[in-house]
Chains A and B, each alone.
Chain A
Amino acid sequence: LAKTTQPISMDSYEGQEVNITCSHNNIATNDYITWYQQFPSQGPRFIIQGYKTKVTNEVASLFIPADRKSSTLSLPRVSLSDTAVYYCLVGYGGATNKLIFGTGTLLAVQP
């Protein structure tokens, strides 16, 4: 499975847009990119998934450049409740059934 690299932590203020970038240089042709959010003492929650270009849902946007070696999760106008750990995962190319989480990025939103 492709290894991912994310910043350990990020700080932001309420109302700002936050962009978290993930590097995945060894991504395979069939791999998808998935982002999860985890609050303390809870299981991770699926946020968004994409293969290339841009994907947007009601929660976030995911930007993937043409070479797919990185991806950026964009959270518009964050609030205090967005303080959480965000995980970037690469895989599920059809040949594997496992999902391996990295260390994630701790986003701390200040008032």
Chain B
Amino acid sequence: SQTIHQWPATLVQPVGSPLSLECTVEGTSNPNLYWYRQAAGRGLQLLFYSVGIGQISSEVPQNLSASRPQDRQFILSSKKLLLSDSGFYLCAFRVGNSYEQYFGPGTRLTVT
């Protein structure tokens, strides 16, 4: 069966520190991969999506970056975190032409 994993589940980081969040998918190949961020009480903001290895599309200009070093691995990074980077980060995947996205459990990031 298809599953998606994210880690860590929670993270508290000081302003200016680096960030690395990892997402992996199992049970499928060549998925479309997505990173979303959700601020407290707000909707989901699409940050990045990828249709293949090394192919990253950015939706919002900011101090975050994404990489896809392997087919089923998606990494969200930052060199220097800002207070505004706090939020709930969700990774998701979609397979083929399906209209259904599957979301991971999320990472709660607090920047202090």
Contact = CB atoms under 8 A, between A and B. Distances in A.
> What secondary structure prevails in chain B residues at the interface with A?
strand
Given A99-B34, A102-B43, A43 B99 contact: no
Interface residues of B, number: 25
B52 to A, nearest CB: 10
Interface residues of A, number: 21
Interface stretch (A10-18, A21-29, A90-98): A90-98
25 contacts: A34-B99, A41-B106, A41-B108, A42-B106, A43-B90, A43-B92, A43-B103, A43-B105, A43-B106, A44-B44, A44-B103, A45-B103, A46-B101, A46-B102, A87-B44, A94-B97, A97-B32, A98-B49, A99-B101, A100-B46, A101-B36, A101-B43, A102-B43, A103-B43, A104-B43
Interface of B: 32, 34, 36, 42-44, 46, 49, 51, 57, 59, 88, 90, 92, 94, 97, 99-106, 108
